Amino acid sequence: MADAPLMEIEDLGLSYATEQGTLRAVDGVDLALHRGEALAVLGESGCGKSSLAKTLLRTLPRNAYPPTGQLRLQGREVLGLPEERFRREVRWVRIALVMQAAMNALNPVVRVGEQVAEPLRIHRRASRRQARQRAAEAFEEVGIPTDFLRRYPHELSGGMRQRAVLAMALVTEPDLVLLDEPTSALDVLTQASIMNVLKRIKHERGVSFVFITHDVATASELADRVALMYAGQVVEAASARAFFDEPAHPYSRLLMAAVPRLHQERPPSPIPGRPPSLLDPPAGCRFAERCPWAFERCGEPPPMAPCGERHHARCWLHPGLGGER
Amino acid sequence: MTTPQPSTRPPQAAPGEPLLCAEGLHTHFELRQWGFVRVGSVRAVEGVDLTLGAGEAVAVVGESGCGKSSLARTLLGLHRPTGGTVRFDGTPLNGLSGRALKRYRARVGYVQQDPYGALPPFMDIQRILAEPLIIHGVRGRAERERRIDTALAEVGLTPAADTRRKFPHQLSGGQQQRVVIARALLLRPAMIIADEPVSMLDASVRVEILELLRRVQREHRLALLYITHDLSTVRHYVDRALVMYGGRIVEQAPVTDLLARSGHPYTEALLSALGDPDADNARRQREVPGGEPPSLVHPPSGCRFHPRCPHAMQGKCEVEPPPPDFRPRADHRVACWLHE
């Protein structure tokens, strides 16, 4: 089973009960991630990317229905595990999380060193001394001086806190680190240095990442593969090279053209319209309403069609589905 | 007693004098312990010279804590400057109060970062937009409605009659920001100050709002001060850009010149830390200066950037702050000893 993907998501669905009815936040998502890969899950607000992240770690709010579909880690289905076993065997053991607001992830009255060591004490039953030793190593790895171990979160700058949270995620040596907008609250220079740390760790340790972000440029800083989400569905999944150079889905192309760039004479162009409501999504292609290439067939839901090696797009225009370009 | 009428006249600044002119502007905030013991001060804006011509769009770029929002709020008259002068249309703002300050505010529109926070949730759009007109003495319901409809049409929220009856939560983020812009335009201002107007919006909407600001700025020959942390959103939407660091302006130039031939090491650091989307980005480490942004309470001596600067010259940069106007080119100013 050496070639089995580290993580496979199959037909994943997630709904919330709301006052207005059932909101289908994630609908039929298929994704695969190999060991050592970084997958960027890219999308604008409300596209379902954060719900997807919450489903992977099962940190869902109370109004969520139980997720449907399959989540396999190294071939083993874990979505159906009872909560206690999921906590003991998956969360923070196999999948760790780095979230956006580092201040909220840290306990303000506990020294950061102890917090970084805590997952080891709980999940790896490490002794206090071992845990402290490993925490110090993790600090060095993410670029925090080890004398910061004895400090409290408020004594750290925003960038240092985010590094501490990253150390906390790495300390148990999980297979997969889930990054939920890890740098969007940070300044440009701090953001770049955190991305540098992530790139280095990925390269040196072969850690696999799922990287949730709304920012196309940030996604390109870490991703080997990109999955673009729109209205609860993955509309394109491709290698970073194919996605950034030759995006296949109309939404991917328009989004790429909407991104302001530092060095480009042509001004970016916005995408008119807005995403459909997930309370009552259209029956056909969800992007059709905003798509300049839409035709009659788009009234039917398009499947994910192959358009290259490990490259799929959810669009009827695609040659694989008999459409013409 | 006459009610002050919102100004509809074109900017009156003397020929040659810019609409807005700030000199040696300082805004400091006192830090107190137990409410009364003075323990220091936050020097958010420190010696800023700034001019803004009628019909000119200028971006102020900087990271959080560089003083850019304090600068904006000082220019809006929300903070009293600790030192220096601001002249608007030939009139000094220092010490303006009461009716004169109100008149000034009618001539300056403000667009905030968080559109939802800027719109009272319990008022419909009609009420939200009528408010400034009532406050500034626009008489007659029909006249107010006419103005509201014009403003809504101008920001692309048509049919206006539908929008007027809605509440903020019924609009998308982009539409809310359009309402905020409509409100800023209602009193026919001469200047708009937009503080991070797009940082909370999605990529596909961001450009729409920036284009809208640029369009109304050009059509009405407004002065626009666009405050942002994101250097990649300035290129097509302003004429000139200023870069702030540690409460000071470190560089200013026409925007294309600034992006192509930046002169200050801090601007260079920002440019090399940012990238346009490209699959190769994942394979290279970016050059980032070490260290943290400067404290505004205990700022470094000399040039604020010297502790992080790869080109810092010992015996010079940490001793004396560089003057703000070395000129590598006629319209390009850099506060850096490298350009002496």
Question: Which residues of chain B lie closer than 8 angstroms to A195, CB-CB?
Answer: 286
Task: Return the pLDDT at B292.
Answer: 84
ipTM for the predicted complex comes to 0.87
The string of pLDDT tens digits covering residues B174-220 is 999 999 999 999 999 999 999 999 988 888 889 999 999 999 999 99
Task: Return the pLDDT at B12.
Answer: 52
Question: Which residues of chain B lie closer than 8 angstroms to A194, CB-CB?
Answer: none
Give the other-Cβ count within 10 Å of A263's Cβ: 11
Q: Give the residue from chain B lying closest to A201, CA to CA.
A: B285
Which residue in A67, A57, A65 sits closest to A12, CA to CA? Answer: A67
- CATH code at B20-107+187-339: 3.40.50.300
Task: Return the pLDDT at A274.
Answer: 86
**Across the interface, which of B64, B207, B281 has its CB nearest the CB of A260?**
B207
Residue A249 contacts residue A316 (beta carbons within 8 Å): no
* Cβ contacts from A onto B, under 8 A: 127
Distances from the Cα of A34 to the Cαs of A6, A74, B11, B31, in angstroms?
Answer: 5, 9, 63, 53
Beta carbons of B288 and A189 less than 8 Å apart? yes
pLDDT tens string, chain B, 340 residues long: the values are 344 444 444 455 455 579 999 999 999 998 888 877 888 889 999 999 999 999 999 999 999 889 999 999 999 988 889 999 999 998 888 877 788 888 999 999 999 988 889 999 999 999 999 999 999 999 899 999 999 999 999 999 988 989 999 999 999 889 999 999 999 999 999 999 999 999 888 888 899 999 999 999 999 999 999 999 999 999 999 999 999 999 999 999 999 999 999 999 999 999 999 889 999 999 999 999 988 888 889 999 999 999 999 999 999 999 999 998 899 888 999 999 999 8
Chain A CB within 8 Å of residue B231 CB? yes
Whole-prediction pTM? 0.90
The pLDDT mean for chain A works out to 91
- The average pLDDT across A6-24 equals 94
More confident: B325 or A324: B325
Would you give the DSSP letter of residue A253?
A: H
CA distance linking residue B209 with residue A299, whole number of Å:
31
Beta carbons of B285 and A196 less than 8 Å apart? yes
Beta carbons of B271 and A256 less than 8 Å apart? no
The encoded tokens of residue B113 equal 């970062």
Chain A CB within 8 Å of residue B169 CB? no
**pLDDT band for position A3 (cuts 50, 70, 90):** low
CA distance linking residue B217 with residue B211, whole number of Å:
10
Q: Give the residue from chain B lying closest to A222, CA to CA.
A: B282
**Domains of chain A in sequence order:** 7-94+174-321 (3.40.50.300)
Task: Return the pLDDT at B14.
Answer: 52
**Across the interface, which of B204, B275, B282 has its CB nearest the CB of A224?**
B282
**pLDDT band for position A324 (cuts 50, 70, 90):** very low
Chain A CB within 8 Å of residue B291 CB? no
Question: Which residues of chain B lie closer than 8 angstroms to A261, CB-CB?
Answer: 232, 235, 276-277
The answer to whether residue A174 scores a pLDDT higher than 70 is yes
- Strands B191-195 and B108-111, by their bridges, are parallel
**pLDDT band for position A284 (cuts 50, 70, 90):** very high
The secondary structure of chain A in percent helix, strand, coil, rounded to multiples of 5, reads 35, 20, 40
Which residue in B174, B72, B77, B167 sits closest to B129, CA to CA? Answer: B167
Chain A CB within 8 Å of residue B206 CB? yes
Residue B12 contacts residue B278 (beta carbons within 8 Å): no
Beta carbons of B203 and A255 less than 8 Å apart? yes
Residue spans of the domains in chain B: they are 20-107+187-339
- The average pLDDT across A112-116 equals 92
Beta carbons of B282 and A217 less than 8 Å apart? no
Note if the bond before B159 is cis, omega within 30 degrees: yes
Task: Return the pLDDT at A320.
Answer: 62
Secondary structure (H, E, C), chain B: CCCCCCCCCCCCCCCCCCCEEEEEEEEEEEEEECCCEEEEEEEEEEEEEEEECCCCEEEEECCCCCCHHHHHHHHCCCCCCCEEEEEECCEECCCCCHHHHHHHHHCEEEECCCHHHHCCCCCCHHHHHHHHHHHCCCCCHHHHHHHHHHHHHHCCCCCHHHHHCCCHHHCCHHHHHHHHHHHHHCCCCCEEEEECCCCCCCHHHHHHHHHHHHHHHHHCCCEEEEEECCHHHCCCCCCEEEEEECCEEEEEEEHHHHHHCCCCHHHHHHHHHCCCCCHHHHHCCCCCCCCCCCCCCCCCCCCCCHHHCCCCCCCCCCCCCCCCCEEEECCEEECCHHHC
What's CA A108's distance to the chain center, in Å? 26
- The average pLDDT across A176-183 equals 91
Question: Which residues of chain B lie closer than 8 angstroms to A222, CB-CB?
Answer: 282
Task: Return the pLDDT at B156.
Answer: 93
